[in-house]
Amino acid sequence: MTPSVDGEIRWFSEHGLYDGLFLMRDRESGTFWDHLTGEAVYGPEVGTRLEVAPLRQTRVRQLIAEDSDAMIALSDRGGLRSDDQMKTEGLLRGVRGRLNRFFAGTIEEEDTRRPTMDLGLGVWGGERAVYFPYDVVVTTDNAILTEYDGRGILVYLDPTAQALTAIFTDADGVRWEDDVLHLSDGSRIEEGVVYDAAGERAEVERPLQVFTRWYGFSLTFDDVAIHGEEG
Amino acid sequence: MTRSIPLTLLGAFLFTAGAPQLASAQLGMPPSIPVDPTMPVKEGFDVERAYLGRAPLFQPMYNPEWIPLREARSRGAVDDDTPILVFEAGGRTLALVSSQMSYHHVAQGEMAGEPWMVTF
């Protein structure tokens, strides 16, 4: 996300809750902002939206394979959750959980098509936001090739990152060979890195996406489509 | 490294009952600001249902120091399996530790003159 309005940098922190999700506030104008879409929701900047860009979840091994010059910022603060809790396995343990009542108190009505704490990949930025449930991806051999906003899109469970990821692609078929995902256009994805048909590292284009709980995604976007379900 | 500034409310977030305004007071959380009827509101946003804290709920990570990821791994600050968040700014690939972001929730700074922000 780009933290500037009309070229002026704003400084943000989480300041509130709405629909069970945090709201940011910038200290310069006091405006409250949706922390997923970057849209101003209450305050002087309503009508403004911060520029958003894809944020990926992966693991150190994969990023080093992808970009050996990658940099990291370390905090001297431990997290509220452990590394194990932040892994997909840890997040999946919460799928049957409930939202605590403080968060739930900011929700008017949930979308009950999926369980509240269901885990999946939300893709947006096109005409309609689409949710790819984790269990649907897994039961589709860990890879779904479909269309999003008129373009081919691949949603897959990356074996290295153990997280759902989406990329745009022109391929019309995929197959796994061990942990390598081969695409029908001759490209392949290995340890999270995309190689073209010539074996060269390829640039990929990614849609806006978030690995998320169902309640958060469905309450943020209107009329969310669920992959694999009618409507 | 970021500076250490104590926070008070986080544990309480997890298992608390009640409507937002009431619970915030009971928990010693930052009081909510009164809704200003003259303030612009996005269409469809029910400001009466929101909890609008007067103070930050978490200490954001501002202007962090960046080190090569490989160096951080060599030091043992992270290992191969550590979950991270990855983004691009200023022509660089940048990462934040997911579990540390569960403390800060917002990180922000500039890389090669390009402002960036990650929310989690």
Closest approach of chain A CAs to the CA of B57, in angstroms?
Answer: 5
What is the value of ipTM here, to two decimals?
0.86
CB atoms < 10 A from the CB of A24, how many?
28
Please say if the pLDDT value at position B16 is more than 60: no
Residue-wise pLDDT tens digits, A115-124: 999 999 999 9
Distance from CA of B6 to the nearest CA of A (A): 10
Residue-wise pLDDT tens digits, A12-39: 999 999 999 999 999 999 999 999 999 9
Q: Which of A107-111, B35-39, B100-104: highest mean pLDDT?
A: B35-39
> pLDDT at residue B22 above 80?
no
pTM, two decimals, is 0.85
Q: Are A202 and A187 in contact (CB under 8 A)?
A: yes
Q: How far is B120 from chain A (nearest CA, A)?
A: 8
A211 touches chain B (CB under 8 A): no
**Statement: residue B21 has pLDDT above 80:** no
- pLDDT at position B72 is 97
- State pLDDT tens for residues B48-83: 999 999 999 989 999 999 999 999 999 999 999 999
In this complex, is the C-beta atom of A7 within 8 Å of any C-beta atom belonging to chain B? Answer: no
Best mutation target among B32, B45, B94 (most A Cβ atoms within 10 Å) is B45
Q: Which of B1, B19, B30 has the CB atom closest to A75's CB atom?
A: B1
A3 touches chain B (CB under 8 A): yes
Note whether B1 contacts A3, CB cutoff 8 Å: no
Q: Do B64 and A105 touch (CB under 8 A)?
A: no
The stretch B15-39 carries a mean pLDDT of 65
Nearest to A102 among B13, B32, B72 (CB): B13
Q: Nearest CA of chain B to the CA of A48: how many Å?
A: 10
Residue ranges in chain A whose pLDDT is less than 50: none
**DSSP secondary-structure letter at B105?**
S
pLDDT at A79: 58
Size of interface A-B (CB pairs under 8 A): 262
Using an 8 Å Cβ cutoff, are B103 and A75 in contact?
A: yes
Q: Do B58 and A13 touch (CB under 8 A)?
A: yes
pLDDT at B118 over 70: yes
Burial of residue B40 (CB within 10 Å: 0-12, 13-18, 19+) is middle
Q: Quick one: pLDDT at residue B17?
A: 29
What span, in angstroms and rounded, lies between the C-alpha atoms of A69 and B67? 10
Q: Which two tokens stand for residue B111?
A: 């890389």
